[in-house]
Structure 1
Amino acid sequence: MKKIVTNLTFWVLTAITAGALLGHFAPDTAVRMEVLGKTFISIVKLFINPIIFLTITLGIVGMSDLKKVGRVGGKAILYFEIVTTLALLIGILVANIIRPGDGVVAKQSSADISKYTKGAAEFSWLNFFLDNTTIQVLLLAIVLGVVLNRVSAKDQIVSYLSVASKWVFKGLHLVMLFAPIGAFGGMAFTIGKYGLATLLPLGKLMITVYTTMALFIFGVLWLILRTYRISLLRFLRYIREELLIVLGTSSSEAALPSLMEKLERAGVSKSVVGLVVPAGYSFNLDGTTIYLSMATLFLAQVYGVELTMSQLLTIIGILMVTSKGAAGVTGSGFIVLASTLQAIQVIPLEGLALLLGVDRFMSEARSITNFIGNGVATLWLASNEGELDRAKLEHAFANVQQTEDIQQDNIDYVRR
């Protein structure tokens, strides 16, 4: 009983349930809980860049072969492009087979979509880089790590960075005490603001998107891990706490630092974790890619637009590029979608208003798929590079509760 009471998974799941109930029965009160979810995510975000910076720098300094850094980075970019393109093609294929937009009536809406169309017109790779501090920190850490690797007094500098890393993770453990509150606020707001009734008109789209993402996770990602005899189900069980946090907050950022810590504990080298996870956060958005492709075809079906093969190829080409920058732009999903609609110029932009009510529910599926996809990418690349300690991996997968107990002990230690 004591283990249940002190178990973070139990409290996050309880908080999600309580938030959903409050949102359904007292929507006005639930909407005001948004501040809890937003505050939790904002605090966790404060830890993301320091953790990325320290993890990458320490990892590169500890590598004897600097050529490996470039090789891992190159393989990661190639992996991201192949897998996200595959996700894009799966989304288009399923949307064409099931046709979730058929029969949906395009009603006039008072929703303001100007900020999304304006953002689409202003999008550029320069803005993406300037707005994306994660990429900036990633590049800075790589440069500093390479420089420190060649400095004679690097041992003393590394000792300071190691102490800083230790305290940053201690602070993160303390913040994770409030994960249930963040999950409660996020779920209460979602249900209270939009209500389950908003799902009914677009229920077919919701079911299609969730089913497609499940097929991608348990089909494509399963096969990817299978190439190195790693069990996807055991991995999902290992990161169950983080998945619940992502579900409750609709944000993969909320659990990103914790994922990096768990991957290291599972035997992935610090340098691979530091390079792949933050880069994947910006470039390996499997769930977002699936949603964008399906949403585009959904709107085409709603308005009775029969896309030609050249138009479909245009959509694929646009999303292959713009979806990579989705994490670095405010209102990312809709802005990328708007830019796609503007490019092909046959689907009315007003169709975006149709998706506003269910986007928050879609966001949960997108975030979870992105999150799992980045974990799988890290494990695969670490295995491919010989940077995965299989003994540690097996121990971590076989002792999930022990790992969670260690995290809880760390939280209790910091709290005392």
Structure 2
Amino acid sequence: MTDPEMRARVPNRRRWYHQLYVWVLAGMALGAATGLLAPELGRSMEVLGDTFVSLLTMLLGPIVFCMVVGGIATVANLRQVGKVALRSIVYFEVITTIALVFGLTVVNLVRPGDGMGVDAGSLKVSSEVAEHAHAGQSLKWTEYFTQLVPDNIVGSFAEGAVLQVLFFAVLFGIALAVIGEPARPVARGVESLSRVLFTIVRLVTYAAPVGVFGAMAYTTGSFGTATIGALFKLIGTFYATSVLFVVVVFGSVLLLVGLNPLRTLWYFRSEILLALGASSSEVAIPGIVRKLENVGVSKGTAGVSVSAGYSFNLDGTCIYLTLSTMFIAQALGIHLSFGEQLLLLAVMLLSSKGTAGVTGGGFVMLTTTVSSLSLIPVSGVMLVFGVDRFMSECRAVVNALGNAVAGLVIARWQGETTAADMTAIMSGHREGLVTEDQGQGAERPDSVPPSPVAVRSGT
């Protein structure tokens, strides 16, 4: 094979200093250093992170709507959409249950809260925690289902309620498919709007290093190393458990569908880094969907599985819930029997999915779990409130990665592509399926910036 032929077959690679993830890493490092060396300056950088988050949050609802409607409208057989949804739910329930059991097992073995001897009566609930507690306690079990249906779809778009927008988008897409040919202009309009939105996302994404710098500077400037040291064992246990979960569970799942875990992690590295820097798993929604489509996952499968995953497949949050809840009980000297722990586990299976549209994210989920039963005083959540921000970054990464893996697994389950084709595209030996002509950026593993849509929940 001649050199020109080789150059034609192998995609061009950008120099390392042209890669967005390199600049994101630099922004994270510089932000952490700024916060530690000049705390007041670091705290003042919060505006950069907040502005970046706001720039991207405005796109969340429309992007979810367009990608789900566009995916369903292109499916000739609606039964296929039902299969994707059913298989996604089955997969989500299995993996999140494993995550909860995983975290519960580790926290019982390591017992990071033992010996603290904290008196529950000495814990004063701050106004911010009280607000989160009220949000969690106000959720009745029926609201886990009623919050799925929006009272006002315009309001759902404005608030970025992903689950409600997803519900409306599925109905809208099914309606387009049922109407058929007369609705084709509407479907083409949605597709065109999707291209415009992804172009906006691609442009805004180039500000990611600045936004990540501001978020990291504020975090380290506000909490510093002293706060981390106070509960270092809990944080270390959580990070170690999350890494172990990714290696054992995600690694096993990827091997079962014929994919190399390390290559898959590298393929989604930009999304992982932005989730870490922005402390939000939702930063990766558009980027993950685009990269899934690039390796052969259909629009319908990518849109439905990933969007639903951000409400039903929060693996990092599940690990966080079990570790934090049991840490609080251990710190307060409360012994929970095996039966009581199983009861907490059952509540977590529900609470980890029921607060998708509630401000406060993972911490609200924790408060909901603690307050739903009388086993642990609600004031105990104050023990982890100070370091929740540090743990939110790790759970955001696991959540984002979990939904990327879910999209790959569901696609393989559907028989939409082969492991060999996915591997060839991920490794850069073959061009991907998403091009600039589709308005979503040239999707190459080493050159494509992620497309974040961020919220500060860390869920």
Taking the TM superposition and a 5 Å limit, the aligned residue runs for 1:42-191 are: 42-106=54-118, 108=122, 112=126, 113-123=129-139, 124-125=143-144, 126-127=146-147, 130=150, 133-150=161-178, 151-191=180-220
Which whole-Å CA distance do the structure 2 matches of 1:235 and 1:322 have between them? 30
Letter of the aligned partner of 2:177 in structure 1?
Answer: N
Letter of the aligned partner of 2:243 in structure 1?
Answer: A
TM-score w.r.t. length of structure 2: 0.84
Taking the TM superposition and a 5 Å limit, the aligned residue runs for 1:300-339 are: 300-339=329-368
- Tell me the number of residue pairs that the alignment of Structure 1 and Structure 2 aligns: 409
- Given that 1:173 and 1:407 are in contact with CA atoms closer than 8 Å, whether structure 2 keeps it comes out as no
Structure 1, residues 170-203: CA drift from partner, whole Å, max 9, x if none?
Answer: 1111000101011111111110111122111211
Q: Any gaps of 5 or more consecutive residues in structure 2?
A: 1-12, 151-155, 430-441, 452-459
Partner of 2:16: 4
Partner of 2:422: 393
1:234 to 2:263 alignment: yes
User: Shift of residue 105 of structure 1?
Assistant: 4.5
SS at match of 1:57: helix
User: Shift of residue 339 of structure 1?
Assistant: 2.6
SS at match of 1:214: helix
User: Shift of residue 317 of structure 1?
Assistant: 0.9
User: Shift of residue 404 of structure 1?
Assistant: 5.2
User: Shift of residue 373 of structure 1?
Assistant: 0.5
Structure 1, residues 271-311: CA drift from partner, whole Å, max 9, x if none?
Answer: 00110111000110000011111111111111111111221
1:16 to 2:23 alignment: no
Which segment is superposed worse, 76-85 or 102-111? 102-111
Which whole-Å CA distance do the structure 1 matches of 2:193 and 2:354 have between them? 31
- Given that 1:314 and 1:344 are in contact with CA atoms closer than 8 Å, whether structure 2 keeps it comes out as no
1:289 to 2:330 alignment: no
Which whole-Å CA distance do the structure 1 matches of 2:373 and 2:91 have between them? 28
Structure 1, residues 329-379: CA drift from partner, whole Å, max 9, x if none?
Answer: 112323222232223323222221111111111001110000000011110
1:25 to 2:37 alignment: yes
Partner of 2:10: none
Taking the TM superposition and a 5 Å limit, the aligned residue runs for 1:226-305 are: 226-305=255-334
- Given that 1:128 and 1:329 are in contact with CA atoms closer than 8 Å, whether structure 2 keeps it comes out as no
- Given that 1:44 and 1:253 are in contact with CA atoms closer than 8 Å, whether structure 2 keeps it comes out as no
Which whole-Å CA distance do the structure 1 matches of 2:92 and 2:443 have between them? 32
- Given that 1:225 and 1:380 are in contact with CA atoms closer than 8 Å, whether structure 2 keeps it comes out as yes
Which whole-Å CA distance do the structure 1 matches of 2:113 and 2:448 have between them? 45
Which whole-Å CA distance do the structure 2 matches of 1:133 and 1:256 have between them? 14
Which whole-Å CA distance do the structure 2 matches of 1:334 and 1:159 have between them? 40
Structure 1, residues 187-232: CA drift from partner, whole Å, max 9, x if none?
Answer: 1111011112211121111111111111111101111111111112
Structure 1, residues 88-109: CA drift from partner, whole Å, max 9, x if none?
Answer: 0111110000000012253745
- Shift in alpha-carbon separation, 1:396–1:292, aligned structure 2, 3 A: same
Normalized per residue, the structure richer in helix is: 1
User: Shift of residue 390 of structure 1?
Assistant: 4.4
Partner of 1:413: none
User: Shift of residue 266 of structure 1?
Assistant: 1.7
Partner of 1:414: none
- Shift in alpha-carbon separation, 1:157–1:193, aligned structure 2, 3 A: same
Which whole-Å CA distance do the structure 1 matches of 2:341 and 2:278 have between them? 33
Which whole-Å CA distance do the structure 2 matches of 1:95 and 1:40 have between them? 35
Which whole-Å CA distance do the structure 2 matches of 1:129 and 1:319 have between them? 22
Letter of the aligned partner of 2:347 in structure 1?
Answer: I
Taking the TM superposition and a 5 Å limit, the aligned residue runs for 1:201-240 are: 201-240=230-269
SS at match of 2:404: helix
- Given that 1:60 and 1:142 are in contact with CA atoms closer than 8 Å, whether structure 2 keeps it comes out as yes
Q: Any gaps of 5 or more consecutive residues in structure 1?
A: 411-416
SS at match of 1:100: coil
Which whole-Å CA distance do the structure 2 matches of 1:227 and 1:74 have between them? 20
